[in-house]
Amino acid sequence: MTFEIKPYPELWQSLDMDVERFDKARLMLGEAYEKTYLSQQNRPGAMAYFDNMIAEIHGGRIKELMAAKAEGRPVIGTFCVYIPEEIVLAAGGICVGLCGGSQGSVPDAEKTLPRNICPMVKSAFGFKAGRICPYFQAVDFVYGETTCDAKKKTWEILDKMVPTYVMEIPQCKNPRDIALWNEEVKAFKAKVEEVAGKTISESDLAWAIKTMNNKRRALQRLNSLRHHKPCPISGKDGLLIEQIAFYDEPIRFTEKVNELCDELEGRIKVGEAVPTKNATRVMIAGTPMALPNWKIHNLVEGAGAVIVNEESCIGTRYFKDLIDESVSTMNEMLAALTDRYKEIDCSCFTPNNERLNQVVKEFRDSQAHGVINYSLQFCHTYNIEEIRIREACEKEGIPYMFIESDYSPEDIGQLQTRIEAFLEQIRD
Amino acid sequence: MYIGVDLGSRTVKMAVWDGKRLVDYKIVESGFEPHRQAEKMIAGLKATTVVATGYGRHLASEYFADHVITEIKAHGLGVYHQFPGCTTIVDVGGQDSKVIALNARGKVSNFQMNDKCAAGTGRFLEIMAGSLAYSLDEFGQAALLADQEVQINSMCTVFAESEVISMKNRGAPRDHIARAVHSSVVDRLSGMLARLGYGEEIAFSGGVARNPCIVHMLQKKLPEARLVVPELPDIIGALGAALHGAEI
Ligand code: SF4
Ligand code: SF4
């Protein structure tokens, strides 16, 4: 089977993209996907849907976005799991995660942005600057936030290319911070309503909360199946689904994840394992891995181990908490929503002690043998919080390794040695 | 007979272990195809197992090696054999430097490697020796004997090299600069050791352990610990690999 990411040159043209260049990027991504994903042995059959989501990443899904726009439904780009998707959904809109995980767009960003900032910010910015991401071209506007410095200052520059609004996310979680946050959620709702030309009713929001909760429940279910020993699905596939969660249609996605989970439950019954029954189990903690950043998973699973959990925004931070569905007035629902979002334990907050316990908890739940803490280069908050995560793991006697890396391939050899040595250390 | 080969960035090392003693060893330049060099080295030797380690380990296993271990584990095994009871290793090779902590059973319990750049590695010393027109042997000697040093601020190889060049052009004595270069490597190593923590005895392996100035300065920096250098520091990794072959 040869895998191809389907080309849609006319669609791209209509989105004012750099078609020639993008077509090359498409071929490279297709090759990387085939090598990374389709070479895996014994993949669950239900992964076919997600393979197709990648094949259609630059076409099929974009057409759906354009069709929604034609109906007057807004398409909103976001960069952070603190932006409440429920509100977009309630207004009939679509929310897409625009985080960048590719080295390919970094040089475009470095024409403008400083080089020594987070590669995720550079990659995303570069996609817009180089006109090489159809999602970025399709969004009506971008909703950024004030989490880290790299992002909040980049919004000011990005705004020149695409309308960029900013939600103020506080840095602490005191009552007055939560009050401010709640105000920001309301302002977000007003903005979305304005663009959608529609007032969100209580039943709209209740429906959206339920829909998103169901999506999160499906991802929780998948995650707990990955915790099974032996593991029924590779970490690469697990990560892929968590990445696709940020651009797929939520109801369909939920169904497909549940179908996959049914299959995995069948596998567990007969003891089917990926890659082998007694593979070393690794848990990842740290910064998000945006599409197509599969670097660490590739190395770890290439060395014969399996990744069983991602304590990350493209991972458990996105789906571990649900919104209370028992309230029904608008104000109560918005408060419940704020309440849920404040449970997210990003290192941009101080203090962030909850995360230390969460890492240890996920280590235990996932029956992992060790933790690899991963931070993108120049991400100060995760890099510094590393110290406390390390201390927490050491205290619990958890084998631990820290990796700081970006998207470039130059450190692959060294990372391979470090990862293999870490696995030896666990096994010996 | 158990053979260990360590395919490094600069040299390929081989050690032959007969179950009791080190009976043979060799060190050659890596050349363009280190695995071919290694293959030549072991040609004609009768081995029960060949274990490969170092950067070229996976290539070696495609061609001839029976097993592969990382250089971290290999150095752990080699040092544990030579200095039982020693729980800390500094290994400085051609392209990286690492510090390794061993538990009481000689198993790796933690380790650190230098990041992407070449600072603090054999390669760094080599480039600096080159820009001061020393051979590698003279370089360590001259630095050891120098009575003064200037200050190098840059840790990055590229910047450090331009710093060295501007010092030369300001007329700073060559041996003072040489000493400063050594100092910067030692600062780097002692920093890594401080981060990881170290025991009473620290074994120093890898080719750079033959540089008398680095050894001297590192020992001075760590007065509470005893720095020990194996007789053949280059082949500790290869020896560890051979020992692993005998274990399995
Ligand atoms: S790491 Fe923090 S800032 Fe980044 S997406 Fe997650 S919550 Fe947002
Ligand atoms: S990884 Fe860190 S620096 Fe990068 S966008 Fe997220 S919080 Fe900001």
Domain residue spans in chain A? 9-200, 205-323+330-336+345-426
Residue of B nearest to A428 (CA): B107
Query: What CATH number is given for B1-83+234-248 in this structure?
Result: 3.30.420.40
Minimal Cβ distance to B108: which of A413, A417, A428? A428
**How high is the pLDDT of residue B159?**
80
Q: What would the mean pLDDT of B166-170 be, rounded to a whole number?
A: 88
Residue percentage of chain B with pLDDT more than 90: 78
Distance (Å, rounded) from C-alpha A206 to C-alpha A85?
A: 13
Tell the CATH topology of A9-200. Answer: Rossmann fold (3.40.50)
| Residue B165 pLDDT level (bands cut at 50, 70, 90) | confident
**How high is the pLDDT of residue B163?**
87
Rounded to two decimals, the pTM is: 0.94
Contact A210, A328 (CB under 8 A): no
Q: Say whether pLDDT at A408 is over 60.
A: yes
Contact B79, B57 (CB under 8 A): no
Name the CATH superfamily for B85-229: ATPase, nucleotide binding domain (3.30.420.40)
What confidence tens digit (pLDDT) does each residue in A57-109 have?
Answer: 999 999 999 999 999 999 999 999 999 999 999 999 999 999 999 999 999 99
Minimal Cβ distance to B116: which of A411, A420, A424? A411
| Residue B115 pLDDT level (bands cut at 50, 70, 90) | low
Q: What is the mean pLDDT of chain A?
A: 96
Q: Using most ligand atoms within 8 A of CB, pick from A379, A380, A383, A385 the residue to mutate for ligand 2.
A: A379
Query: What CATH number is given for A205-323+330-336+345-426 in this structure?
Result: 3.40.50.11900
Angle between helices A119-129 and A149-158 (to 10 degrees): 10
Q: What would the mean pLDDT of B97-109 be, rounded to a whole number?
A: 95
Q: Say whether pLDDT at A1 is over 80.
A: no
Q: Say whether pLDDT at A17 is over 90.
A: yes
* Residue written as token pair 């979002």: A341
Q: Does A116 touch chain B (CB under 8 A)?
A: no
Q: Say whether pLDDT at A272 is over 60.
A: yes
* Residue written as token pair 């400063």: B180
Q: Whose CA is nearest to atom 2 of ligand 2?
A: A379
Q: List every span in chain B annotated with CATH 3.30.420.40.
A: 1-83+234-248, 85-229
Q: Cα–Cα distances in Å, from B119 out to A108, B116, B131, B156, B182? A: 29, 9, 15, 6, 11
Backbone angles phi, psi at B64, to 5 degrees: -145, -20
| Residue B83 pLDDT level (bands cut at 50, 70, 90) | very high
Q: What would the mean pLDDT of A6-31 be, rounded to a whole number?
A: 96
Ligand whose nearest atom lies closest to the CA of A289? 2
**How high is the pLDDT of residue A2?**
81
Residue percentage of chain B with pLDDT more than 70: 98
Ligand whose nearest atom lies closest to the CA of A149? 2
Cis peptide before A134 (omega within 30 of 0): no
- Kindly state if the Cβ of A147 falls inside 6 Å of ligand 2: yes
Q: Mean pLDDT lowest for which of A215-229, B144-158, B172-186, B190-204?
A: B144-158
Q: Say whether pLDDT at A367 is over 60.
A: yes
Q: Supply the ipTM of this predicted assembly.
A: 0.91
| Ligand 2 centroid to residue A383 C-alpha, Å | 10
Q: How many CB pairs under 8 A join A and B?
A: 38
Q: Say whether pLDDT at A337 is over 70.
A: yes
